[in-house]
Amino acid sequence: MPHTPRFRTAQASDAPAIDRLYRQLVSHPGVNVQAGRIAALADDPATRLFVCEQGGAVAGTALVSLCADVMFGRQPYAVVENFVIDDALRGSGLGSALMAHIEAFCLAQDCSKIMLLSSAQREAAHRFFARAGFSGSAKQGFVKYRSALTAGGAHA
């Protein structure tokens, strides 16, 4: 890598760059990154929206949510969402560097584990996460999207 990556918490001014990255990740017409929402998350002690800069430009991002838990005393666990590195820079080591930054943050927060979901068809991402030490066979993830939610929820 020609430049050492820099990691920081996202700022409202990063909204266009994060929006661009999310559009590389998914082709959903509802993607709508708002500067005000990024600013609000910056004040949330249980959430970090990290950006990875390469050569002064935002080249990657990931959202880390710390979830309160009772299983291991006061230890939270972390959920990583929307982990994306710019298409043009994948394979450059930035993803590994961003994941190492996330892991250091989670260790500092005393997290018991880090969880993430990846779309079933993103096989290259699955290989990346496996190389980063995540197990795709230890647990099975389930997702129910908003379009499938009902006011009454599931009925027995």
Torsion sign (Cα): 128, 131, 136, 142: negative
List the one residue out of 27, 20, 5 whose CA is nearest residue 122.
27
For 3-20, how does the pLDDT look when each residue is reduced to its tens digit (9 = 90+)?
789 999 999 999 999 999
The per-residue pLDDT for 31 is 95
Judge whether residue 99 has pLDDT over 90: yes
Q: Can you say whether residue 4 is alpha, beta or left, with left for phi > 0 and alpha for psi between -120 and 50 degrees?
A: beta
> Can you give the pTM of this predicted structure?
0.91
Give the strand pairing for 57-67 and 47-54.
antiparallel
List the one residue out of 126, 106, 135, 116 whose CA is nearest residue 48.
106
For 39-70, how does the pLDDT look when each residue is reduced to its tens digit (9 = 90+)?
999 999 999 999 999 999 999 999 999 999 99
Torsion sign (Cα): 134, 139, 145, 151: negative
Q: What is the mean pLDDT of the chain?
A: 93
Domains and CATH numbers, the chain: 6-148 (3.40.630.30)
Q: How many residues in the chain?
A: 156
The pair of three-digit structure tokens given for residue 113, joined into one six-digit string? 């584990």
Note whether 82 and 73 are within 8 A (CB). no
97-112: average pLDDT:
97
Judge whether residue 106 has pLDDT over 70: yes
